[in-house]
Amino acid sequence: MSHPLLPPIEALASATAAPQGLEVVSVCLHTHRQPNALVIALRHRGGDDVNLDDCAAFSQAMGEALEQGDLLPGAYVLEITSPGLDDSLEDDRDFRSFRGFPVRVRCREGDRETDREGSLLGRDDGNVEINQRGKIVRIPRPTVIEVRLITPEG
């Protein structure tokens, strides 16, 4: 279940990122931390990675916007990052960008969840495709719960 503060925070983050040529990849509010942590992942609209200067500039603008909007009650920590390992792949651009990278595909098989690992080949309307030890494995998209980047073994 999504936190009720996320939609207005996501909208504010997107509006703050746009003039800087950035787009918001994800927004996560960790209310189990003391103080709460708001983690925002960014990338350039062209798909390039963000650098430390990009994160610092966005952090400054977003911090000011959050204070003006009074969206987060109490103390919080604002963390700005870029997508990377252990991130879930969401859109078509993610699947193109991380082709060949090691992934874990969590899928539903009957009444249980299973994980499959391999090198990402891509996805189409019907399947997510991975290479498992030289064999192409097609996993039907309706059964896919999540595709996540993982650290290569060895």
What is the mean pLDDT of the segment spanning 56-78? 90
Check pLDDT > 70 for residue 137. Answer: yes
**Domain shared by 16 and 74, yes or no:** yes
Domain end: 59, 81, 103, which one?
81
Total-model pTM: 0.59
In angstroms, the CA 120 to CA 99 distance is: 5
109, part of any domain: yes
Check pLDDT > 90 for residue 142. Answer: yes
74, part of any domain: yes
**Domain shared by 71 and 97, yes or no:** no
**Domain shared by 97 and 67, yes or no:** no
> Which pLDDT belongs to residue 69?
84
What is the mean pLDDT of the segment spanning 99-127? 91
In angstroms, the CA 87 to CA 151 distance is: 11
**Domain shared by 106 and 130, yes or no:** yes
**Domain shared by 74 and 101, yes or no:** no
At 154, the pLDDT band (50, 70, 90 cuts) reads very low
**Domain shared by 19 and 58, yes or no:** yes
Domain CATH number, residue 72: 3.30.300.70
Domain end: 57, 81, 105, which one?
81
111, part of any domain: yes
Distances (CA, A) of 150 to 6, 94, 108: 26, 14, 19
**Domain shared by 65 and 97, yes or no:** no
**Domain shared by 72 and 10, yes or no:** yes
86, part of any domain: no
Q: Which domain holds residue 18?
A: 6-81
Q: Which of 5-9, 49-53, 54-58 shows the lowest per-residue confidence on average (mean pLDDT)?
A: 49-53
What is the mean pLDDT of the segment spanning 135-146? 94
